[in-house]
Each structure stands twice: as structure tokens, then as C-alpha cells.
Structure 1
Amino acid sequence: MNIKSFLKLVEIQTKVASVIPYFLGTFYALYRYDNFNINNAIIMFLSMIIFDMTTTAINNYMDYAKAIKKEGYGYETHNAIVSHKLNPKIVKLTIVIMLVVAALLGLLLVKNTNIIVLLIGVVSFFIGITYSFGPIPISRTPFGEILSGLAMGFGITFLSIYIHVFDAGILNISFTDLRNINININIIELINIVLVSLSPIMGIANIMLANNICDMEEDIENKRYTLPIYIGKERALNLFKWLYYIGFISIILAVIMGALPVISIVTLLVLKLVEGNIKKFKKLQTKKDTFILAVKNFVITNLIYDLTILGGIILQFISNS
């Protein structure tokens, strides 16, 4: 396996779906709490990106191993194991190595912080692995959209905030003895973080939803009973539209509550572009032609969203100088 085939196996271009929530959380920690821990930030980034590559490699391996339909757009060209003629044994070894490295980095992060990072990390690892692996992979059920959205959109954003402010009283668990557990939650701050996370949650869920809408016929043949198959294409397309609107509404509410800088309202300027892409996707749903629209909507919306929070940090700095 060379570098080119490895990058294809892990679909390196899709890592933007984890990098954007990571920077959202990092910028929010700086804006809201004026705190930044560079060691934790580096460890978190490496663990996150390596684990994201691992889950993608697992997904490609399982698609290769379980495919029933082995012709048509996608299988011969999209799956790196087929298109690059990779040795499945080498692929499995690569997956194991990446998983171990990501887990070790995660444990180092737990050592630097507390048990909350361990708990959320374990849940995120579990969702990431079982998304494509196991007797009933999440990707073959109606829960793929919501769980991937929560794991990446909320899990990454929350951890990217929490690793900088784990001792600030937002969420803590302590053990007085084996029978007593104390949980302390700052409800307002937690609500703010949930609101801030909703845009990437909805955007990532919609990437998965668009993927499943495009694959409905092939999924039926491959016995993947995803959400669009359960609710039908028309309802799935309506859900696709409304998830974006929920993301934009959450930004407005977060600004009103003072969690985000006023400048974050600028994110709404991309609404027209997003609506145009929604209309294009509603007319035609294929991996080749229109699936990319969901990715574009996620990137353009949340990249600008991240930059507005960075803008808020800069304005804070100027006003305090």
C-alpha cells in the first residue's frame, strides 16, 4: 500500500467533516472562556483525525467484504480496496494500527483532563467502530444519520471545548466512594454548547442522509435498511431541507443567548446558496452528480460559522487592548 492508495482508503478529503467541528470547539473555548491548552489541542487533533481515518477504512473494508452488488457507479471506482487492488490483510492490519494509536492518544488526553473525556471518547469510539462493523452495523439501520451527527457534530465540538476548560465546572463527575457518584452540571453552559453544536450536527447528519438517499436502490439490494428506506424518499428529502434550517435557527438562538458573537449572524448569508443546493438535490439524487451538494452545504456553512467565532475573538482582543 503506497501513500496514494492509503489516502484513498481513508478518503482524506472527507476529514473536513471532523476538522471543522474541531476548530468550532477550539474557537468557542477561546471566545467564551478565554482558555487554550496547546498540548491537549494537539493530542485531541491527532487522536481525532487518526480515528476518523480508521472509521473510514473500516467502512470501505466492510463495503468490500459484504457487497452483494459489485457493479455500477461507486463500487469499482469509489472503494479503494477494489480500485487500487489492495491486499485485504494489509488493510486490516492498517486499521488495527490506526485504532491502537488513536486510542493511546485518547488515553493520554484523559490523563491530562478527567473521566468525562474518557466517557465521551468511549461512546464516540463505539459509534465510530460499530457504524460499519459488527453483526448489525449502524450504517445499515435508520440510526446512522443521528448517531454520526451526534458523534462528530457534538462529540468532537464538545471535547474540543472541554479539553481546554475541563476544570471550569461545566460538567464534572466525582466519586466519594464506591456507592456515591456526584455529578455537577452547569446547565446554561451545557445548553449553550448544544446550541453551538447543532449546525455541524445537522450538516453531518445531512451528508449521511444524502448518501443514503442516493444509494436507496443499491442499499435494498445489499440489505442496508437505512432511514430513507423506512420513511420514503419524499419524507427523506423534506428532512434533508429542515435539518439545515434547524442549524441556522440554532445559530440565531445562540447569538440571542449571548453564547456566540453577534458577528455569527453573518453565517445566515449562505442560506440562499444552501437553499439553491437543496432544490438541485431535490430534483436529482445521485452519488455522481448531486451528493457533493450536501458536502458543499456543510463546508460553506460551518467554515464561515467557524470564521465568525474567530472574528469574535479578534474583536474581543481589540476591545480589550
Structure 2
Amino acid sequence: MENKFTFRQFWELSEIYTAPLNLFLILMGVSIAMDQFDWGISLDLFLYGLILIIFHVTANIFNHYMDYKNASDQHYREVTNVIGREKLSLKFVRNLYLICLFIAFLLGVWLVLRTNIIVGILGLIGFYIGLFYSYGKHPLNSLPIAEVLTGTTSGFFIPVIGFYLAIDGKIEVTPFMIFEVFILCLPLSMMMFNNLLANNTSDLEEDVKNGRKTLVYYLGKKTAVSVLLIVFAISYLLLPIFVFLGIAPWPILILFLFLPKSIQGLKIYQQKQDKATTFPIVLKTMSLVMIGYPLLYFIGSLIHQL
């Protein structure tokens, strides 16, 4: 490493600014438990949140590391990837993610010892997908299943563990409960899917140069954008259905107040898929649901308790 490692470099390498989204995913699971069953905020939930943030940082550092090593496009290595652009030492980056991974693993073991093996199994699946997203000869981020697999893992696995920890052994968790959590978390999984789809749509040319054949490679940009818009529409249509069925509180419908602005932003993205200018619009649009949905569900759960 030629220069001193700065916080700005860590900020970009770890993408820690996206880590708080994990806390809203946990909030979703807690809110479902709060709305329908007995629940309680415990040390286990705080420990789980800490593990997620550290592992989120670990996975992002590791992804940048592997993308740099696997890249065949010189421009990507020297200009696009933060490691090459900032001239960071590969050894330093590797050691950094190994330290973070070790800390997350130790905290994960502690959480499993405090709870049970079910939490451990779900956690290991999450660890595996997070690390193998960019590892190996054919990493997940170069395959057409990456969007669906990662979206489901983040949008469902994180909330369901939060739900399980919030229940805290007060009642027996049944397969039907888990299925209901899965259904209620579909809007979150869909938004995660859309984020990855938009990212890969914007990076299509660069991905092709580096040998990545994502879902967008097979769909084409035009179809990928259409899929994104359809998935976005379905996620919003689910909200009134949840309320009508009585499985979600009415405050989640407040999200519809922001729908016109979201549609306006997506129309701009539909015209041009660019990583620097229009992709951030998609991130903001999807993040609105990923933050607003759990938050409004939580508020509704509080109202239900009154």
C-alpha cells in the first residue's frame, strides 16, 4: 500500500453506508413478531445486528478484492475498482476482510451458543452466499441466478432470523409462520432483486468484458428494464392485498403517497441505464420501500398493541 489507508477509502471499499439497510430488514422480522405474537427486544437482536453490519462490510471488501483479481479488463482494474484506483495493497485488503470475517464469525458462534442451531444454519447459508457471491471460477455475481438468490437471501433470511430471535422461544415457530414471514417479506426481496438487476443492467458492457454473464446478459437491457418495472409494480400491489387479508397493518399503505415520485424517477431510468446518473435513482426508489415498509409496519404494530 503506497499511501496511508484513509476513512474515505474504507468508506468506498466496504460500502458501509449501505449497511444500515440490514437493520431495517431486522426491524421487519421484529415487527411481524410484534404484530402477531409475543416479542421482546433482547441482547440477541442487538448482537445479530452487529454481526450483520460487520459481515456486510466483510462481504463488500471481499467482493472488491475478488472482482479486482478476476477482472480481465485493464480499465476496470485501474480505474473502476477502488483497489486499483486507490493503489491499495492486495495483501492489506485481504487481511482486512479476513479480520472482519473472523470477528463476524466469533460473534456468530456466540449468538448460536445463546440461541440454537437453527440460527446457526441460517447464518451459515447467509455467510456462504455473501462470500461466494464473488469467489471462485464461476462466482454467483457472474451467473444469471445472482439477482434471485441474493435478493431472497437478504430480503427473507435476514428478517426471518430477526423474527425468530424476537419470538425468543415464547412460542413454537411453525413452518406456516415462516411461510407467512416469507410472503410478507416479498416486497423487500423484490426491491433487493431490482437493485441488483439495475446494477447489472448499468454494468452490462463492463461485465461482458470481464466474463460475467448475469441475468441481464441473457435478457438484454430492454427486457431487463421491463422486468424491473413489473417487479416494482407487483411489490406495490402486494401491499393492499396484505392489508385486506389482515396480515399487515394499514400504515404500510402510506407508501403509496410516494409512488408518483418513484414512477417519475423510474421513467428517467427507463430512458437511460447509466451507473453514475440513473442507477442512483433506482437505489433511492427501492430503498424507499426497503426502509419505509419495515418502518411503517413497525408503526402499525405499535398501533395494534394499543
Q: Deviations over 1:47-67 (max 9, x none)?
A: 111111111111111121122
In the alignment, the residues of structure 2 paired with residue 65 and residue 313 of structure 1 have an alpha-carbon distance, to the nearest angstrom, of: 47
TM-score for the superposition, normalised by structure 2: 0.92
1:257 shift after superposition: 2.6
In the alignment, the residues of structure 2 paired with residue 53 and residue 162 of structure 1 have an alpha-carbon distance, to the nearest angstrom, of: 24
Aligned match for 1:235, one of 196, 218, 223: 223
1:197 shift after superposition: 0.8
In the alignment, the residues of structure 1 paired with residue 94 and residue 203 of structure 2 have an alpha-carbon distance, to the nearest angstrom, of: 26
Structure 1 pair 75–12 and aligned structure 2 pair: CA distance change class (3 A): farther
Aligned match for 1:286, one of 271, 274, 277: 274
Tell me if 1:273 matches 2:275: no
In the alignment, the residues of structure 2 paired with residue 254 and residue 101 of structure 1 have an alpha-carbon distance, to the nearest angstrom, of: 39
Structure 1 pair 168–234 and aligned structure 2 pair: CA distance change class (3 A): farther
SS at 1:120 equivalent: helix
The answer to whether the 8 A contact 1:114-1:166 is kept is no
1:16 shift after superposition: 3.8
Where does 1:46-57 land on structure 2 (aligned, <5 Å)? 46-57=50-61
Q: Residue in 2 aligned with 1:153? A: 155
In the alignment, the residues of structure 2 paired with residue 70 and residue 199 of structure 1 have an alpha-carbon distance, to the nearest angstrom, of: 38
Between 136-145 and 269-278, report the one with greater CA deviation: 269-278
TM-score for the superposition, normalised by structure 1: 0.88
Structure 1 pair 77–15 and aligned structure 2 pair: CA distance change class (3 A): farther
Larger RCO, structure (CA 8 Å, separation 6 or more): 2
SS at 1:308 equivalent: helix
Tell me if 1:24 matches 2:28: yes
1:97 shift after superposition: 1.0
SS at 2:19 equivalent: helix
Q: Deviations over 1:226-269 (max 9, x none)?
A: 00101212221111111112222332232223221112121222
Aligned match for 1:249, one of 237, 247, 261: 237
Structure 1 pair 260–77 and aligned structure 2 pair: CA distance change class (3 A): farther
Q: Residue in 1 aligned with 2:205? A: 217
SS at 1:142 equivalent: coil
The answer to whether the 8 A contact 2:29-2:162 is kept is yes
Where does 1:120-199 land on structure 2 (aligned, <5 Å)? 120-169=122-171, 171=173, 185-187=174-176, 189-199=177-187
SS at 1:86 equivalent: coil
Aligned AA (1:13): Y
Q: Deviations over 1:61-101 (max 9, x none)?
A: 11211222232xx7656532123321110110111111111
Q: Residue in 2 aligned with 1:206? A: 194
1:208 shift after superposition: 0.6
Aligned match for 2:64, one of 52, 60, 69: 60
The answer to whether the 8 A contact 2:187-2:235 is kept is yes
1:186 shift after superposition: 4.0
Where does 1:27-42 land on structure 2 (aligned, <5 Å)? 27-42=31-46
1:20 shift after superposition: 2.4
Between 30-39 and 195-204, report the one with greater CA deviation: 30-39
In the alignment, the residues of structure 1 paired with residue 239 and residue 161 of structure 2 have an alpha-carbon distance, to the nearest angstrom, of: 19
Q: Deviations over 1:182-214 (max 9, x none)?
A: xxx341x22321122111101111111001101
Between 285-294 and 15-24, report the one with greater CA deviation: 15-24
Structure 1 pair 140–203 and aligned structure 2 pair: CA distance change class (3 A): same
The answer to whether the 8 A contact 1:270-1:301 is kept is no
- Tell me the matched-pair count: 302
Aligned AA (2:106): L
The answer to whether the 8 A contact 2:143-2:215 is kept is yes
In the alignment, the residues of structure 2 paired with residue 170 and residue 139 of structure 1 have an alpha-carbon distance, to the nearest angstrom, of: 37
SS at 1:61 equivalent: helix
In the alignment, the residues of structure 1 paired with residue 246 and residue 112 of structure 2 have an alpha-carbon distance, to the nearest angstrom, of: 30
Structure 1 pair 75–170 and aligned structure 2 pair: CA distance change class (3 A): farther
Aligned AA (2:149): L
Let me know the Cα RMSD of the aligned residues.
1.8
Structure 1 pair 139–5 and aligned structure 2 pair: CA distance change class (3 A): same
In the alignment, the residues of structure 2 paired with residue 275 and residue 92 of structure 1 have an alpha-carbon distance, to the nearest angstrom, of: 41
